[in-house]
Structure 1
């Protein structure tokens, strides 16, 4: 009986500790990093408690001016939280340069010096480095940076004369420290002009959402491809999950038991969204979301409520 009592007390202590963790765990806030215009004024952030209604920080003004690259743009900002507890951001620095922008921050307020990573400098015929994103692989404690590039002369079967003849494929590099990088390699060749990829992991599967950039005949929609490996093996793209409008810049969040893919209806100058509980069947909920005026695409990620309060204190006092 003595040992049973000790066992019961131990179980009670574990339950109390677990309950305390549940009670004290901070609620999460959804953040959205985005750009406006051509990306010339830098980083913008918006936040949401429910993933539907988004409010801008800093009264809609830029939180970080771009300094990297020759053209000094900050388009398509992608922010993730890494295994080191810091936030890592990559972005498009130019329409024509062979590098992408990079900076890191512990609090989304104070940022490291911005620099470029010359991921396509080795390719003489590379025309651009567009819409980079980062995925952090917890298992191997490694970051994969991936983006879209047109290399003149490659994939002539999907070449069009429209839209300056861009004909993108997806490329990647990996790093553990953002100082040393693996050689750039091909990530995805779907048999069409592809851009704007983002990746989530569900179970053992990596799921990549991409834009079919085909111009003739026009597609301009979001599709899905899956793999059991992060950096290879992505198969045939699905049918479009977006509707009869041009969409780009997908980013994904799980809100409760629903997945929401946000994207830029760039011709209509508004944001759109589709929702699914199984990543197979999608419902358009564009009429249910509200973003700050002028929002262009970026990335959704989560922060704590105390981090949001610090951001508000910092940028609302100015």
Structure 2
């Protein structure tokens, strides 16, 4: 009779060990597979290079406090407005503004881990337009239906469009190209002409055939952020909204957090970083009191990646 309690103890002990092991495995898998939010960044005067912020919830951000790629191409050799998108093979692709003016293209590099980068290349997307003033804020979007990258940017070609309230060398329109491999690119085309000077545009996919373009109206009376809507990532985008930010705001970056969309932006006159929250891109709630952005951060783009990549960056 005394054997049975010992057997029961042994069985219960084994069951407890198995349960503990199972819990540890589940926790490990959950931790290993969890994605984190990354925010590309730069500090003025933009000559030091690529920086990153990271966040587990999309609201509170931490600076990695170092640069990961120093700009070496372009007339001014700066790195402004860095934008990253990841391909299906896991490669991270980076584009950036390489000069304030006189460049007819933008910078490009790629990486598998965000630490070691390929040789920097200059992508001359506006070389066919001899009077191009600038190429600003190239933004990457991966079209997972066409299996290609869409790259959009703002450029001024004087006297190309109807004269508005802007001086001709500040009369921007959005252009685009597409690529599958960053070796060959489709011919540059006009992406957006909203009949006003426009810069800093970001493509957002809500679902198939449902896209939102977040953009800055750069005219002197406005200088605020609006949205437009389309059924294809390359447009056309129509029904430009009223502004949902005050004046002197730019550089929108968008993150999907649960059922919400968070739109971060640079309130450059106030020297602060702000954000709004929306679910329909029609009504917007100010969430400045809910976010935390490190001092000195200037706008890039937000993307998600595996936690193991962040661990490598933290070790570096």
- TM-score bin, normalised by smaller chain: 0.7 to 0.9
Give me the whole-angstrom Cα distance separating, in 1, the residues matched to 2:289 and 2:297. Answer: 16
- Post-superposition offset of 1:238: 0.8
Equivalent of 2:291 in 289, 292, 303: 289
Give me the whole-angstrom Cα distance separating, in 1, the residues matched to 2:231 and 2:148. Answer: 17
Query: How has the CA–CA distance of structure 1 residues 21 and 235 changed in structure 2, closer, same or farther, with 3 Å as cutoff?
Result: farther
The DSSP-based 3-state class of the residue aligned with 2:215 is strand
* Segments of 4+ moved more than 2 angstroms: 19-25
Give me the whole-angstrom Cα distance separating, in 1, the residues matched to 2:111 and 2:54. Answer: 18
**Match of 1:135?**
141
**Match of 1:43?**
50
Q: Indicate the structure (1 or 2) with the bigger Cα radius of gyration.
A: 2
**Match of 1:5?**
none
**Map of 1:133-212 to 2, 5 A cutoff?**
133-161=139-167, 165-204=169-208, 205-212=210-217
**Match of 1:232?**
235
CA contact (8 A) 1:83 1:136 kept: no
How big is the alpha-carbon RMSD for the aligned residues of Structure 1 and Structure 2?
Answer: 1.9
Give me the whole-angstrom Cα distance separating, in 1, the residues matched to 2:110 and 2:72. Answer: 14
- Post-superposition offset of 1:229: 1.4
Q: In the alignment, is residue 26 of structure 1 matched against residue 33 of structure 2?
A: yes
- Post-superposition offset of 1:23: 5.4
CA contact (8 A) 2:133 2:169 kept: no
Greater mean deviation of Cα atoms: 182-191 or 152-161: 152-161
Consecutive unaligned residues in structure 1, runs of 5 or more: 1-18
Consecutive unaligned residues in structure 2, runs of 5 or more: 1-24
**Match of 1:116?**
122
Equivalent of 1:241 in 234, 239, 244: 244
CA contact (8 A) 1:74 1:92 kept: yes
CA contact (8 A) 1:159 1:165 kept: no
Q: TM-score, normalised by structure 1?
A: 0.87
Give me the whole-angstrom Cα distance separating, in 2, the residues matched to 1:82 and 1:158. Answer: 39
Give me the whole-angstrom Cα distance separating, in 1, the residues matched to 2:166 and 2:313. Answer: 45
- Post-superposition offset of 1:22: 11
- Post-superposition offset of 1:140: 1.4
CA contact (8 A) 1:270 1:294 kept: no
Query: How has the CA–CA distance of structure 1 residues 41 and 23 changed in structure 2, closer, same or farther, with 3 Å as cutoff?
Result: closer
The DSSP-based 3-state class of the residue aligned with 2:139 is strand
Give me the whole-angstrom Cα distance separating, in 1, the residues matched to 2:292 and 2:48. Answer: 22
- Post-superposition offset of 1:70: 2.0
The DSSP-based 3-state class of the residue aligned with 1:76 is strand
Q: TM-score, normalised by structure 2?
A: 0.88
The DSSP-based 3-state class of the residue aligned with 1:95 is coil
- Post-superposition offset of 1:186: 0.2
The DSSP-based 3-state class of the residue aligned with 1:309 is helix
- Post-superposition offset of 1:39: 1.1
The DSSP-based 3-state class of the residue aligned with 1:157 is coil
Give me the whole-angstrom Cα distance separating, in 2, the residues matched to 1:287 and 1:145. Answer: 33
Query: How has the CA–CA distance of structure 1 residues 136 and 21 changed in structure 2, closer, same or farther, with 3 Å as cutoff?
Result: farther
The DSSP-based 3-state class of the residue aligned with 1:40 is coil
- Post-superposition offset of 1:130: 0.1
**Map of 1:297-308 to 2, 5 A cutoff?**
297-308=299-310
Q: Number of aligned pairs?
A: 290
Give me the whole-angstrom Cα distance separating, in 2, the residues matched to 1:118 and 1:124. Answer: 12
